[in-house]
């Protein structure tokens, strides 16, 4: 898969670990930054870049990391077509795909150990959307449409 990654300064080190793991699994990684953990940056800039790449189809899925994952998920979900899920464990990572058809996964580098974050990411990539939940995704898309007019 072609996977877009983004992080702020708080998530930068975890992003590097996730990126190396994805590459070792044969995925193509597109890194949207940030690249220096010592320079404070604003997470919406990276959420925007990755989410637009996912929404346009230039990458298949997105991965966003900040301190808690909260800011990234809020910002990413502002982009039409994005279903960004903040995950904390294997269960939320799996259900984000199975039930919610999430196309972006967000994680908190200050909350998750790198090994658990990698495990969450592996499960997020391994699972697929269960079509029995499509009606709910259609309703989410309808909210997006209503809000745009």
**Residues known to be catalytic:** 66, 99
Instruction: Round to whole Å and give the CA distance between 3 and 104.
Output: 10
In angstroms, give the least distance from the CB of 10 to ligand RB5. Answer: 4
Task: Considering only the stretches 52-60, 64-72, 92-100, 121-129, report the one whose residues sit in contact with ligand RB5 under the rule CB under 6 A.
Answer: 64-72
Q: Rule CB under 6 A: say whether 44 interacts with ligand RB5.
A: no
Q: Give the total residue count for the chain.
A: 149
Near ligand RB5 by CB under 6 A: residue from 5, 8, 85, 102: 8
Residue placing its CB nearer to ligand RB5 in the complex, 68 or 77? 68
Phi, psi of 83 (to 5 degrees): -120, 95
> Positive or negative, the Cα torsion across 101, 102, 103, 105?
negative
Q: Is residue 66 a contact residue for ligand RB5 (CB under 6 A)? A: yes
Closer to ligand RB5 by CB, 40 or 134: give it: 40
Size of the site for ligand RB5 (CB under 6 A): 8
Residues that bind ligand RB5 (CB under 6 A): 8, 10, 43, 66-68, 70-71
């Amino acid at each position: 898969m072609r996977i877009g990654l983004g992080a702020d300064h708080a998530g930068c080190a975890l992003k590097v670990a996730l990126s190396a793991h994805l590459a070792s699994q044969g995925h193509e990684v597109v890194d949207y930054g940030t690249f220096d953990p010592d320079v404070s940056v604003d997470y919406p800039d990276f959420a925007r870049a990755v989410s637009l790449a996912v929404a346009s189809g230039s990458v298949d899925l997105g991965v966003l990391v900040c301190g808690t994952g909260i800011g990234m998920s809020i910002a990413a979900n502002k982009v039409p077509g994005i279903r960004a899920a903040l995950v904390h464990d294997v269960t939320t990572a799996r259900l984000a795909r199975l039930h919610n058809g999430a196309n972006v996964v967000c994680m908190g580098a200050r909350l998750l150990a790198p090994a658990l974050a990698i495990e969450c990411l592996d499960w997020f990539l391994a699972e697929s959307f269960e079509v029995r939940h499509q009606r709910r995704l259609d309703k989410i898309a309808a909210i997006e449409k209503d809000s745009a007019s």
